[in-house]
Amino acid sequence: MPRPNLYYEERMPSPLQRVWLEFRRNAFAIGALYILIFIVFISLFGPLLTPYGPNQQFIDAISLPPAWSVNGDVRFLLGTDELGRDMITRLIYGARYSFALPLLVVIISALIGVTLGAIAAMTVGVKSSTLKHLLDVLMSIPSLLLALVIIALTGPGLGNALLAIGLVMIPQFLHVTRNAIHDERRKPYVTASRLNGVSDYYLLTMVFFPNIVRVLVIQFTIGLSVAIFDIAALGFLRLGAQAPTPEWGSMLAQSLEVAYVTPWVMALPGLALFITLVSVNLVGETLRQAIQKQLEQ
């Protein structure tokens, strides 16, 4: 026979549970989270979700409108483009180029930039001051412009575009991390930790980073949004992904000539980009709010 619990025990939710509760309070945020999960899913398992290839052409189905239209075909739910390629297939494959690859680039840039920023924040003197001014100069130049300069030196192509975006993102994470740690160094809890004789590694991992997570989340969200937009912009300018790669920005560029005849060919990749960017920003903002509430408690 189980013993009755005679004492009231207040159970505090874990940090992950608090984040989830924050998402559940906002219908738009939870919807954006589900959209991002769906985009990640189709990025990983895209080839299993469609019977067609991204560049497979159907001569008998050129410029077909979506299936719900009078002239549509149920085989192609979102229609086909001017070469007879299935639009929904190209959009699914394009998620890899327009979302998954920018996400991977931002993660790598964040790891490098945060590490270098933490090391720079622990140094003082001429080196630290010189680095600060150099980063201020780099941060004053728009990321897309820097990417264009790098691509002008390396040449067009998706690989070079990803490399350029990654190189542009590293100084941003470095700058944000360094400034955040410098702001925390003046606070009493850091002084108390130093008086206890903790090592620099413990100071960074257990004292500084838990208190600058909010800043890093904001920067990661901004970085991911900028990376997605810049990859699409470079593809639209024909400096990133080249035809027939089904990258959303490149698809927009290819649809310019037939925009009036087949408007869905332009509208669909543009809508995919818009929904992805809005979802990333909504999820990032909700994460920031959840972390901020935990730090205030």
d(C-alpha 149, C-alpha 209), whole Å: 33
What domains appear along the chain, each with residue ranges and CATH number? Answer: 27-296 (1.10.3720.10)
Q: What is the pLDDT of residues 77-122, one digit of tens each?
A: 898 988 889 999 999 999 999 999 999 999 999 998 888 888 888 7
Q: Torsion-angle region of residue 6: left (phi > 0), alpha (psi -120 to 50) or beta?
A: alpha
Chain segment 29-56, per-residue pLDDT in tens: 899 999 999 999 999 998 888 888 888 9
Find out whether 156 and 238 touch, Cβ atoms under 8 Å: yes
> Which tokens is 287 given?
């994460």
Say how far apart CA 281 and CA 287 lie, in whole Å. Answer: 10
| Cα 182 from Cα 122, distance rounded (Å) | 8
Residue 170 in this model has a pLDDT that exceeds 70: yes
Residue listed under structure tokens 């999960």: 37
CA distances from 245 to 60, 91, 127, 179, 236 (A): 22, 11, 44, 40, 12
What pLDDT does residue 288 have?
A: 84
